[in-house]
Every structure is written in C-alpha cells, then in structure tokens.
Amino acid sequence: MSQQESVEASSGPVPRGPRTAGVRQALSSLRSSRGFRLLWISNLFFYGGAWTQTLVLGWLVFDTTRSEFLLAVFTAVRLAPMLLGPFAGVLSDRYDRVRLLMIACLWALAAVVTVAVMASSGPVSYGALVAGGLAIGLAQSPSQPARGSLVLDLVGRENLSNANALNALAMNMTQVIGPAVGGAMISAFGAPAALWISTTWYAFSLVALWPLRGTGQATPGRPEPVLRMLTSGFRTVLTSRLTAAVLFVTLAANVLLWPVYQGFMPVFAKEALGLDAAGLGWLLTCGGLGGLAGSLVIAALGDFRFKGGLFVLGTVAWGALWSLFALSRTVPLSFALMACIGLMSASFGVLQTTLLLMTTAPEVRGRALGLQELAIGVMPFASLGLGAAAERVGVGTTAFLSGILLVAVVLALAVRVPRLLRYSGANAP
C-alpha cells in the first residue's frame, strides 16, 4: 500500500481544494453522462462549422456587394429556416431526436460541400451565395429543438443548467476557434479553404452522434396528427405566463441585437475600425472568449437559485454593452467591449433554453423549443429593417439605439412579470 493510500485509509479521502471542486462541478454533466459527452462533442464540431461559415460567407457577400442592405438580405435568407421552428418542435416530440440530428448533419455536409465546390471553381455570384446560405440554414436551424430536448433526456432536470452552460461553452469555444481559423485562412489561402474546413467539422459531428442511435426516441404511443400537435402544444406553452415572458425576451433580443451581430460585424470591422479579414476574425474571437468565460461561470454554479434574475439582469447588461460598442471607434476598446458582450450574452443564451425546458411539461418541450426557434426566426425580417436603417443613419447609430431599446423592453417586462426575476427552477411546471 502506498503512503497516500495509507493516509486515506486511516483518515478518509484527501480533501480537494475549492478550485478542483469548482472544475468538477462545472464539468459534472460531462463526467456523469456518456451520452451527453457524445452529444457535446457532436455539438462542438457542428457549431464549429456554423461559425466558420458565418464569417466566410458574410465576408464574401460584403466583399462582393459592398452593400449593408444586400448583406442584410443574405443574412435574412440564411436565417429564414428558423421560421420552421414550430414544425421542427413537433418533429422533436414525435420522432427519434438522434436520428433527426444525424439527418441534419448529412444535409449540412452536402450543402457546404456544394458551396465550397462553387467557391473553388471561381468567383461566386451573389445569388449563388444566397442560395448556399439558405441550404446551410436548412440544415442548422430546424435541428435545434431536437438538440435542446435531447439534453434534458440525457442529463435530467438537476443538471440541466450545467449541461446547457456546457453546450453554450461548446458554441463559444467554436466561436473562438472558427472565426480565427476562418479569418486567417481567408487572408492566407482564400475563402474556399475555410469552407472546406467546415465540411470536415460536420463529418466529425456525425461520427460522434452514431453511438447515440435509439437514445432520443419519442414518447411511445400513437402520435397525434401534426397540426393538432402544433396547435395543442402552442396553447399549452403560451398559457404559462412565465414561459411566455421568457419567449418574449428571446423575441426582443432577436429583433433588436442578434441581427447586428450576425449581419453587421464585417461593416464594423472594415469601416469603423479599419480591420481586415483576420482582424474581423479576432474581433469575433474576443466575443467568443467572453462567452466562454460566462458559460464556465454558469456551469460552475450548477443548480443555482435565481436563474430568472440572472437571465433578466444579464440580458439588460448585454444590451447596454452593445450600445457602448456601437459608439467605439478605438480598436483596443472595441475588442474589450466585445469580450464583455460575450461574457454577458451567456446569461441570455444559456438560461433562455434552461428556463423554457424547466417551465414546460415533458410532452411539449420540443414544441416549446420550436417556439423559441420561431422567436429567433424573426431575425431575418429584423435584419432587413435594421439593414434599411443602417443605410440611412449608419450601422453605429442603429446598433446603439437597438441596445437601448432592448434594455427598456426587458426592464419593463420584469416589472410586468416579477415572478421571472424570482424564478429558481426548484419546482416542476
């Protein structure tokens, strides 16, 4: 017996320091569930492909057109499949969720290969880029309700906040890696090479899902007709005042701020800050690093109280920071603000899904996430409106006013539904 084993035998296990305990708590879902580990790895590669494409395709469109409005049109088409969220939610409640995710990976792989082949063959027209963005969006957005519902299937209610934070961590890790790699590849070898990288990421995502076959099966029994499932699910979800409040915050954020991030970052980089493609990549990387830190903090908190309060106040801080970023014309300050924006975005991004899953019944959770996807799906229309406004008053002014409006809307909603601020998730819906 070793000296350490002798000590443990006589006096019990050696106590772990607070730092070790914090890391173990932050990674608890990954440590305790093999199924969630595989899903997390799949998400890591899936999101990596998505972030690389967001940068590369956005850069190609703006470099080709030099038009904020046409960039907004491309973004709108790219994100339009989010409007299919309610039907995707029905599919998530009706069919095997892992199988749905595998089909999405295969479609994404085929779509990106097609765009990469076109880009490798010569200059790509604006119309072809728009069509490619739509095809990629059709692979990504409709799979989200199944992806979110599967998390709860794999880890249970107590670990839900931790698991969603770790999923957000995966997204932010790829937000750090994807834009940096994509921007560097554009500068060194051109856009086609960056697109080809993202094809390999989707292939790895599919491989990670393979052992989970049969895990995410729908509730047994004969399912209702699709339209009846759709309408009954909507009634069940929206009659909850708390769930409706969470969905409204999601709607407001995707009308006012996410279109700015998804569509106008190349404009901020080129025109306000004088950055090239690599600089844009590093700017987005700062946002990813902030989001990474924020997700780690929420993961370490575990099943903490006042989830609703952090959701509301974090979203308010996020909007205020965007307004400050819109005013900045200094590169170091803009990089620092983008890191802070990423940090505060974690409270919105992680907790919106956690709260929706916690405040809805098991049989309609896919449809609740489908409504969330629909709320996100207004982004294309909001992008058009914000793009038209940016043509008139500039991207900076548009982003500044959008951030201020989000702060006002969320604070007003908190006054109207005070239970949201106090919600801890301790009681089942």
Quick one: tokens of 236?
Answer: 């069940």
228-237 confidence digits (pLDDT tens): 777 777 787 7
- In which band, very low, low, confident or very high, does the pLDDT at 151 lie, cut at 50, 70 and 90? confident
pLDDT computed for residue 14 by the predictor: 44
What does pLDDT average to over the chain? 80
Residue 320 pLDDT exceeds 90: yes
* Sign of the C-alpha dihedral computed for residues 179, 180, 181 and 184 taken in this order: positive
The single-letter code of the amino acid at 396 is G
Residue 147's closest CA among 179, 197, 104?
Answer: 104
CB-based contacts of 331: which residues, under 8 Å, 6+ apart?
273, 274, 275
Residue 27 pLDDT exceeds 90: no
pLDDT computed for residue 408 by the predictor: 94
Quick one: tokens of 415?
Answer: 């006054």
Q: Which residue has the tokens 């049989």?
A: 363
Residues 55-74: what's their mean pLDDT?
Answer: 78
pLDDT computed for residue 222 by the predictor: 55
252-310 confidence digits (pLDDT tens): 998 988 888 877 888 888 877 888 777 887 888 788 788 878 888 888 887 777 888 89
Question: What percentage of the chain exceeds 90 in pLDDT?
Answer: 11
Q: Which of the two residues, 428 and 263, has the higher pLDDT score? A: 263
Quick one: tokens of 280?
Answer: 């844009």
Quick one: tokens of 84?
Answer: 């299919």
Residue 38 pLDDT exceeds 80: yes
Long-range contacts for 13-16 (Cβ within 8 Å, ≥24 apart)?
A: none
pLDDT computed for residue 177 by the predictor: 72
164-181 confidence digits (pLDDT tens): 888 877 776 776 676 667
Q: What is the pTM of this model?
A: 0.70
Residue 3 pLDDT exceeds 60: no
The single-letter code of the amino acid at 12 is G
